[in-house]
Structure 1
Amino acid sequence: MENWQDHFWKLRLHQCKDALEKNNFEVHLVDTAEAARAVFFETIRPAVPFTTASWADSMSLHATGILEELKRQPEVELIETFAPGIPRETLIERRRQALLVDLFLTGSNAVTESGQLVNLDMVGNRVGALTFGPRTVVLVIGRNKLVKDVAEGMQRIRNYAAPLNAIRHSGWKTPCRKTSFCHDCRSPDRICNTWTITEKSYPKQRIKIILVNQDLGL
């Protein structure tokens, strides 16, 4: 018999999938991170020709193993924007270049029941690519990112996801690292700088979403 908790979330995710598709997103619903990887390589990739790709920081994306497999494919030119030991100025320039790739991969901070994406960025490369630039964007979103509406999504990000993200980066000096609460700070390391609310995918199905019936990321 199906796990009752998984069944609960599957019902919620099916409703979210329908809402997202009405908003012109392409949506795939899977049970696990491993299944998300399979959907990407077996369904999305054959339908989306690309020779260049890049990605933004996303624990959900990393959980699927998609990036590791892409790195083993020499026909794909990957723009690495998180390489250790590389000067920050170089990484920022690479992130600018990544806005013109064929394929961009990342996650989302929140997705609403009515099919909107809610995101908050430090640098802006993730939300920039989500909004315009790369020909195709693929998002991996776990069930824990589902919220009632934009207001709840913003609350979740500001007081949960953002402080956790600051805490996991030991080099940053923000008040939320010490308290776990948002202080609307003025720290030079502030990670909450640019909000985006994506109401619909334009062009239609440019943004492709893999909804996963697992808790993934922050």
Structure 2
Amino acid sequence: MNFDELKIDRRLLDALSGRGFTTIHVSTGAEARDAVLELLPGGSLVAHGSSATLQQIGLVEELQSSQNLRYGNADWIAESDAARRTEIRKRISINADVYLGSVQAVTRDGQVVGADLTGSRQAFYTFGPAKVVWVVGANKLVKDLEAAIARVYQVALPQEDARVRSIGWGGSAVNKLVVYSGEPVPGRTTIVLVDENLGY
């Protein structure tokens, strides 16, 4: 499938808003990082899933060094026992005041598609944390749901698979695929849309 380059415009913002998503539109990754940081109340518990996008814009580094936030990922990363690490990660993520991440595609009519090997991000996007914030680059904008799902398999998966193999893991797969057709809780999910290519 040919993924035509589409731009973030008023039509898209209105479509997302009509489905209950809060939108912020910025030009650069640096602006996206700053916009997300402004959304995080002082003292709040913040967690995130694995995200090339968050790494690219420097947000993870900012969270790691923050003196004003409780960076939940630090707790489970510090645990050496795998079983305990998983339990700590689940507890912190589901109870986070704000859970951060990205998704694999956003359609012109405002549907969002996310995918995971284990569901460790989609679980908390769908339920638990009081607030969810996604940072989404313009490269993830597609015309419709068919193109969004194709993008997961043809664009995002090969890059993620290469990444995990490069660090000695056994590869990736699309085991959990979620279509976010709307956000029923007002103000829960914010999408920061960026006029740059970010992530997979």
**TM tier, shorter chain?**
0.7 to 0.9
Matched with 1:208 is 190
CA distance in 2, matches of 1:40, 1:210: 8
Matches within 5 A, 1:170-185: 170=165, 171-174=168-171
CA distance in 2, matches of 1:94, 1:158: 31
Matched with 2:66 is 73
Deviates more, 1:32-41 or 1:91-100: 91-100
Is it true that 1:132 corresponds to 2:127 in the alignment? Answer: yes
Is residue 105–residue 148 contact of structure 2 (8 Å, CA) maintained in 1?
A: yes
Is it true that 1:112 corresponds to 2:94 in the alignment? Answer: no
Q: Which amino acid aligns with 2:133?
A: V
Calculate percent identity across the aligned residue pairs. Answer: 29
Matched with 1:26 is 22
Is it true that 1:35 corresponds to 2:31 in the alignment? Answer: yes
CA distance 1:91–1:13, change in 2 (3 Å): farther
| Aligned partner of residue 169 in structure 1, secondary structure | helix
Structure number with the bigger relative contact order (C-alpha 8 A, sep ≥ 6) is 2
Write out per-residue CA displacement over residues 148-206 of structure 1, whole angstroms, 9 at most, x where no aligned residue: 111111111112211210111122335xxxxxxxxxxxxxxx53111111111120120
Is residue 13–residue 143 contact of structure 1 (8 Å, CA) maintained in 2?
A: no
CA distance in 2, matches of 1:120, 1:139: 13
CA distance in 2, matches of 1:199, 1:152: 15
Q: Which amino acid aligns with 1:65?
A: G
Write out per-residue CA displacement over residues 70-106 of structure 1, whole angstroms, 9 at most, x where no aligned residue: 2222342222277388443333223311112111000
Q: Which has the larger radius of gyration?
A: 1
Q: Which amino acid aligns with 2:63?
A: L
Q: TM-score, normalised by structure 2?
A: 0.86
Is it true that 1:198 corresponds to 2:195 in the alignment? Answer: no
Is residue 166–residue 172 contact of structure 1 (8 Å, CA) maintained in 2?
A: no
Say what the alpha-carbon RMSD is for the aligned residues: 2.2
Matches within 5 A, 1:46-195: 48=41, 51-80=44-73, 83=77, 86-97=80-91, 98-170=93-165, 171-174=168-171, 190-195=172-177
Number of residue equivalences: 192
Is residue 13–residue 213 contact of structure 1 (8 Å, CA) maintained in 2?
A: no
Q: TM-score, normalised by structure 1?
A: 0.80
CA distance 1:41–1:53, change in 2 (3 Å): closer
Deviates more, 1:159-168 or 1:88-97: 88-97
In structure 1, the gaps of 5 or more residues are 1-7, 175-189
In structure 2, the gaps of 5 or more residues are none
Structure 1 runs of 4+ off > 3 angstroms?
81-88
